[in-house]
Chains A and B, each alone.
Chain A
């Protein structure tokens, strides 16, 4: 057969088609490829065999050492839980990271990016394939857990809750690992944030299973979170985890996309969902349990600090959309109004970030509207001043960045984050120097005249956990009354000054500039006639 004949359709091909793998036609191609790779990978087989050996070993050891009076079922289950946690929370996320990292290091990602697969499909495919592998590990352990359940004195709800938590935590960690592996440009700032992310994600993901393990070991487990009277808490935790996974996926896909593409809108959607689920969690917790003020302030400070990071990312966006990004939005200006905050740009990003923070503040203020010390509404006032500080500082950051970019066009997220940090620390120093503590943002100390401000504390503002756990000393509400008015007014002024820029970004012309015009503008030298082989 000649090569040309080979390329032509063959008679009888239809009849010879194998019937296999019909179902796989509709799967994500990455999932199919990774599954095939795993099936013939010695590493996967090694982990699976080790897992089975560990399970068998633990079962034999526990049964051999069991006392005749019984009670060994709980120990058996505890051992299984530890083995499963290690595999699902360490091995599986590591495999996820390696899967994505090898694609980048092995120079195979570009082959994918020039195909019809979208960056989002690449990330989802990697995550799904890793979770399919996790499912294999899970299924290998299922008989052991069934045995442990039958032998031990634990409820089915406990076992299922643990398994569900580990699965969710593994999914969450794996998506975070893929996101970190997908980062193309690794700068010191990225490493810093990456470590922070690993710390937070790891803390949350490990914390929950450990908590469940503690509950499993304890014979007096209360299982309040899963109590039928408070399903909202568990549901909101799951919703938050899913929203975070979705955000990781979108961020991973964005890092594989060109800066000229619209990377902002998908991230903003997911940030919005994540913030909403966080607020739902807070409301559910408030409905389920009686809250003191202190945890709420700590949660609020954390929320604000997280959004400072997100805000500095959003205000670092370019003010002008690329032609590729513009094409993704409706031409009608009317149609753009409902999606105004999702349109890329630093001014719309700023409005998006402060809107989320103000919405959160309103929700929490409504929940904690009760008066303290019979004078003022402490929590609402703290939230008002903190949100005003946030609005003011982030707005100033945007303005400074816009001015900086006139000289240094490449200034981006790192610069905006540094400006914001300088503003925060600067505000602290000004407050300290003027003996005017209300300028110390995001702590209840803003409302006290008590003297717990010092040099070490000034540096500690950079440490989020310390800031969140600052002592709640002093008498709330004894600060100068004009401070909230002043800070609130300045914040409103900054928002007003941002509105024209936001309008310009929202209503930017959609229709791409015709090629001919672009070329005529950009190339000063007209192309020579093609008959001259020495064009140019």
Chain B
């Protein structure tokens, strides 16, 4: 089990580049992800996410630079890195004539687990991923969602410190996505470092503590989600709904210097204020109530991760 209190760097890219001929799939990317973080890795198709993840998983080698897992180079110490990483690729094959528990047992053996430790681990992973009920079922007969669970189990079988999930929610129904999100939450609570790529940004936003945005192989943004949101939008929008006439609130707000803009929109007021912390917003709400406004709704509307993504990326495909 990973020590959740550890704050060391779990994943680090150092000038990482991977070129395929003239195409620069990953181009001089440098970043560090702390242990215990859940990092979203987002970017348009062909941005270089999968390539970077494959390098981290020792399935590919960088053209220049290096990537480190727990301080160990994927280039020079690949044998020592492999036990530390669990990778769930976006597409993976299944074996014919192999049952679910045999599949996990095989990979447990492949990671060097022996004897009772291996059998115990297989059972634990089957319980965790919810495939214990179908342990005797052939892999080829599984639904997409169950295959994803099994593949997640395979990635977890050796208890890695770092888990890399490439499009784990692709093709899953809403229930399976919700269950996947719960599993990610459980893993995060165990202190594992997760790097997740996904195009379903709304759900990703609920899972991650930080994001990396990559486009055309270059890092566009990296940091905590709220930091990036704040950076993308220097001001924020607050939606206020009253029981009484909203026009009076607009007049009151226009006289306040901190309010950049106030507009009445049917039964509510939309106001634009500079990015601040929650205390400032609470203070504004308190003042409204003290002025006698009957506030029934006060909503701070942050830029969504999708807005951030659209703002940061150019939509160029290479």
**Which chain A residues have a beta carbon within 8 Å of chain B's beta carbons?**
1, 3-4, 6-10, 13-14, 17-18, 22, 25-26, 29, 32-33, 36-38, 40-41, 102, 106-108, 110-117, 258, 260, 323-324, 327, 512, 515, 518-519, 522-523, 525, 527, 530, 532-536
Chain A residues near B68 (CB-CB < 8 A):
515
9 CB < 8 A contacts A-B:
A111-B154, A115-B111, A324-B75, A518-B15, A518-B64, A519-B65, A534-B231, A535-B219, A536-B30
Q: How far is the CA of A33 from the CA of B110 in the complex (A)?
A: 10
Q: How far is the CB of B254 from chain A (nearest CB, A)?
A: 33
Judging by beta carbons under 8 Å apart, are A17 and B120 in contact?
A: yes
Judging by beta carbons under 8 Å apart, are A40 and B128 in contact?
A: no
Given contacts A108-B92, A324-B78, A519-B30, 6 further A-B contacts (CB under 8 A): A7-B125, A25-B109, A25-B118, A113-B59, A518-B15, A530-B223
Which 8 pairs show the lowest CB-CB distances between chains A and B? A533-B223, A523-B15, A6-B127, A29-B109, A106-B93, A527-B30, A107-B93, A108-B93
Chain A residues near B118 (CB-CB < 8 A):
25
Whether a CB of chain A sits under 8 angstroms from the CB of B167 is no
Pick the contact of B120: A10, A32, A112 (CB < 8 A).
A10
Judging by beta carbons under 8 Å apart, are B227 and A1 in contact?
A: no
Judging by beta carbons under 8 Å apart, are B111 and A25 in contact?
A: no
Chain B window 78-96, contacts with chain A (Cβ cutoff 8 Å), 1 for yes, 0 for no = 1100110101010111111
Stretch from B181-189, B234-242, B290-298, B299-307 that touches the partner:
B181-189
Q: How far is the CA of A523 from the CA of B64 in the complex (A)?
A: 8
Judging by beta carbons under 8 Å apart, are A3 and B183 in contact?
A: yes
Q: How far is the CA of A1 from the CA of B186 in the complex (A)?
A: 13
Contact (A18, B119) CB under 8 Å given A512-B76, A535-B222: yes
Judging by beta carbons under 8 Å apart, are B75 and A116 in contact?
A: no
Task: Specify which of A33, A115, A522, A532 lies most central, judged by the most chain B CB atoms within 10 Å of its CB.
Answer: A115
Contact (A7, B219) CB under 8 Å given A108-B94, A111-B92: no
Q: How far is the CA of A271 from the CA of B24 in the complex (A)?
A: 38
Residue of B nearest to A20 (CB): B119
Judging by beta carbons under 8 Å apart, are B98 and A515 in contact?
A: no
Contact (A114, B222) CB under 8 Å given A14-B116, A41-B97, A533-B228: no
Judging by beta carbons under 8 Å apart, are B98 and A107 in contact?
A: no
Residue of B nearest to A104 (CB): B93
Q: How far is the CA of A17 from the CA of B66 in the complex (A)?
A: 43
Q: How far is the CA of A163 from the CA of B219 in the complex (A)?
A: 63
Whether a CB of chain A sits under 8 angstroms from the CB of B204 is no
Judging by beta carbons under 8 Å apart, are A114 and B92 in contact?
A: no
Chain A residues near B91 (CB-CB < 8 A):
107
Pick the contact of A518: B61, B65, B116, B128 (CB < 8 A).
B65
Judging by beta carbons under 8 Å apart, are A17 and B221 in contact?
A: no
Q: How far is the CA of A116 from the CA of B114 in the complex (A)?
A: 13
Q: How far is the CB of A207 from chain B (nearest CB, A)?
A: 35
Q: How far is the CB of B248 from chain A (nearest CB, A)?
A: 40
Chain A residues near B312 (CB-CB < 8 A):
534
Residue of B nearest to A527 (CB): B30
Judging by beta carbons under 8 Å apart, are A533 and B107 in contact?
A: no
Chain A residues near B29 (CB-CB < 8 A):
536
Residue of B nearest to A24 (CB): B109
Pick the contact of B82: A8, A14, A17, A115 (CB < 8 A).
A115
Judging by beta carbons under 8 Å apart, are A533 and B93 in contact?
A: no
Whether a CB of chain A sits under 8 angstroms from the CB of B17 is yes
Among B132-178, those with CB < 8 Å from A are 154, 158
Chain B residues near A523 (CB-CB < 8 A):
14-15, 17, 28, 30, 64-65
Judging by beta carbons under 8 Å apart, are B124 and A114 in contact?
A: no
Q: How far is the CA of A46 from the CA of B22 in the complex (A)?
A: 50
Whether a CB of chain A sits under 8 angstroms from the CB of B31 is yes
Judging by beta carbons under 8 Å apart, are A112 and B110 in contact?
A: yes
